[in-house]
Structure 1
């Protein structure tokens, strides 16, 4: 398998450096992300300064603060780090179409037949290091004939000197390097059996380390690496270490049958994969498809009409791409890039996923006045942040629409557009609707749900008795404490005269749920018509843990 060339990229500080990119003020001081494991908190990813302060990955947060009082922390967000790794997956696609992600912090690239396009393997590794430097990322590179060898070189070698200690890979790599933007890096990429070109720079950061094993030199490349480089389970590593087998070279010459009998087939299989005797293919995953368009201008623009027209044309292009994939956009991100290198953005959320420009442009126009053009706009960018699959709809003609009655699709689209416009001004979460709920308690008979993410309910079950248009928390009514409906009562500081009534309707509390508002026991509800023209909903509480009496709960139309 000497014709294959595999490049492994390891980002040992991915979680911390993602936060540093979002909050640049955290740079220059000890920083780490914190992961929660039950009731304990440990360090997940560290900055260069945190490593220099003596902190390590997996260290309890309490011990870390005792060792470094100036440590700043942020939570480790796994889903955000996965999204960042997906973005790096798309970036790595320019070196080879055969890219696979190894969550949470590494990529594997099959460079077979691709290195010559960049001037050779050395030049390609330098290109990778420069790109990572511009992104502010620490990277460790390993290039070999097999995936196992490249993985090991990226994590368990430092320049031309391997590390034979046991423990976590990030602790062994002698401090992981961080490439700094704007500075040229030197790479130690000499074949492992040749002289070592030591990187020049700060021993903690300021350079990128690459380890390139010459074709067919996997045996020599792995011989001096620790046993951990074979990706073995911890208990297997512990057993090998007890026997004095600390380096890969210590077991390369051992009989395979004896190794398999004592340590299982897993050890032999990992060893064969690293040496190339057993196949280990790279399974590429297509990068997540992104729907984004942009428009650049030869001269800066700043008029609102010009920006609106440009966004409308970009929406046409974006929707055309969405229609080809059968998807619709739910959330749009509008960006304006100004001449002073500043960027302003706004997000637009539609009530329903759409792939029609005329339904998106009015929502976008509501956001344009909120973006400051500054000295002028050089570029506009439009990206679909959230998309959903769209199902084909059958559009009825005039004859079919007349036979079916009201044009249901048009009414639905009009309502969705109205919800979208209101949401653009008030916030999509502020637009709600009611759905039926499974409860006989009046105030629990319906629930409030967001209008943009739900459909109108068509299965309302009418209650056994009419319910008032307005409900409020029960308010005390001054009347005799008897179950008999009074002809005269006092409520809200006014005297009322009952001219008609309907009832009673008994409603019992939910015995399986202790609701403080229903500790007064059973209630007898009455619809009461008053001399002032109001139709009130009164009830008599028979008393439970609370005292009995009359209350007003709502009003009919």
Structure 2
């Protein structure tokens, strides 16, 4: 069995270079990507120009601006960077099928048995470097027998574990030691030359098979993926290189620095297994139909859908998924293609619910010289859990009736959405507030469930609500017998109330700075039934206002 070979690909400027790819004008400017950390913003990615100006990752933004006055900053977008790394994940599939995302800015590839297809490891690294240069990405790579060693070589190759302090006793050799140093260099007097461990290449660092220990020995202990505090504690004791740890007893290291140090050391040297776990490929659902003769009639298109939909729905049922958005692609004889998209209010895996929506959109298809291939693809799909109704016959019938009614409503929303768009169809839903204007909210009907039951209220609420409008009346808490509103005079015939509503004290709402309100339902002589309230004036002046009207 061949030795296991792992490639670690690190993109140290992924966040900044992703933005430069979208806006090439940023390439000539110092660019830094910042993220919010507590009470300040910290640099998390920099471009080449910003790095040359002295800006580095982990630096507070105020210090970065002090070093580079013309620094251009952008906020960190982890979701966009994860999506971009997913694209690079698919690109890396050309080298090996065994790929995993190790960190938010790196990939790890198991190259075992694949390097000979590219002419060896150095040729493979050269191709990776060329592809990344074409994409405008900076890349660092490392190849070793273990995942931890490859990670360390990609990030810390060429760095020593020497201390940055002056007067370090460990780095200062005695006179006798320096005098005998020439005798230890036996290869200068005809002996065998030392093996070049972790040979540096133009595109990355490669540790030869079986020489992981020697390749990691000169690297700093931070290359073991240790916390910063653990690395500092080790350096304080003079253990700055990985080679300084390999000769230490594992039990003593575990007692002093914890099991994480021993685990990381074993993973890097190969004594503790660390598999490469590739991400599962996303579910993809599509059906294609090649036609022996070009078609162009609506009946022929419907017949083609009748053949494709059952196959597509069977695959959806096997995976427990439901189609939410589908795309129908029609390929013509003249090498042109037209496509149309339909969306459902609820995910579905049955042809009976999908076929009517596609049939409504077939009139938009232009056959031209004829259609010789159709392809139906599920763009968006969601989990769909099977439901099993149990119980007495009456309860089972009621449950099936409610489920059928829900499907009918969802199908109606889907048909309306195919005409005017699903975003234009909304429904009212109760809100989590006792304030009148916040007691209901508007939700998209296709992405929300109907409210099971509206909360019961002791006092009726008006059908129409608007922002409070002033009413000219006597400034007394008692309901007025006469008042003026919107330029009209009214006489109160009957009043019902009051209903006292207090503001939400934990929120500063400008409309509720008048404090508590006493609401009254007032019947007027002109046939209007208005919803008036008296504001007691906590922070503003008191008075009467109108906020709604009953049917």
Match of 2:15 in 1: 15
Give 1:508 deviation, angstroms: 0.9
8 Å Cα contact 2:163/2:240 also seen in 1: no
Classify 1:240/1:447 alpha carbon distance in 2 versus 1 (closer, same or farther; 3 Å). Answer: closer
Aligned ranges for residues 47-196 of structure 1 at < 5 Å? Answer: 47-157=47-157, 162-164=158-160, 193=196
Q: Does 1:526 align with 2:524?
A: no
TM-score, length basis structure 2: 0.72
Q: Which runs of 5+ in 1 are unaligned?
A: 169-190, 200-208, 298-302, 338-342, 372-378
Match of 1:447 in 2: 441
Match of 2:174 in 1: none
Match of 1:322 in 2: 316
Structure 1 vs Structure 2 CA RMSD:
5.3
Cα shift readout 1:99-146 (whole Å, capped 9, x = no counterpart)? 332222222223334444555434443444444444443322222222
Distance in 2 of aligned mates of 1:224 and 1:130: 29
Aligned partner of 2:265 among 254, 266, 271:
271
Classify 1:110/1:441 alpha carbon distance in 2 versus 1 (closer, same or farther; 3 Å). Answer: closer
Give 1:42 deviation, angstroms: 2.3
Distance in 2 of aligned mates of 1:353 and 1:465: 39
8 Å Cα contact 1:86/1:288 also seen in 2: no
8 Å Cα contact 2:144/2:150 also seen in 1: yes
Cα shift readout 1:285-329 (whole Å, capped 9, x = no counterpart)? 4335143659899xxxxx9x9xx9999999887655433321224
Q: 1:452 is paired with a residue of what secondary structure?
A: helix
Q: Does 1:469 align with 2:452?
A: no
Distance in 2 of aligned mates of 1:508 and 1:463: 13
Aligned ranges for residues 528-547 of structure 1 at < 5 Å? Answer: 528=523, 530=525, 532=526, 534-539=527-532, 541=534, 543-545=536-538
8 Å Cα contact 1:35/1:41 also seen in 2: yes
Classify 1:544/1:154 alpha carbon distance in 2 versus 1 (closer, same or farther; 3 Å). Answer: closer
Q: Does 1:354 align with 2:335?
A: no
Classify 1:496/1:248 alpha carbon distance in 2 versus 1 (closer, same or farther; 3 Å). Answer: closer
Q: Does 1:220 align with 2:246?
A: no
Q: Does 1:387 align with 2:371?
A: no
8 Å Cα contact 2:459/2:499 also seen in 1: no
Classify 1:521/1:126 alpha carbon distance in 2 versus 1 (closer, same or farther; 3 Å). Answer: closer
Give 1:76 deviation, angstroms: 1.6
Distance in 2 of aligned mates of 1:548 and 1:88: 64
Q: 1:526 is paired with a residue of what secondary structure?
A: strand
Cα shift readout 1:411-457 (whole Å, capped 9, x = no counterpart)? 53454355456667777555432223455554444333332322121
Give 1:251 deviation, angstroms: 4.4
Give 1:389 deviation, angstroms: 0.8
8 Å Cα contact 1:328/1:353 also seen in 2: yes
Give 1:334 deviation, angstroms: 9.1
8 Å Cα contact 2:517/2:536 also seen in 1: yes
Stretch moving more, 536-545 or 8-17: 536-545
Match of 2:282 in 1: 289
Aligned residues: 513
Classify 1:56/1:535 alpha carbon distance in 2 versus 1 (closer, same or farther; 3 Å). Answer: same
Distance in 1 of aligned mates of 2:345 and 2:109: 40
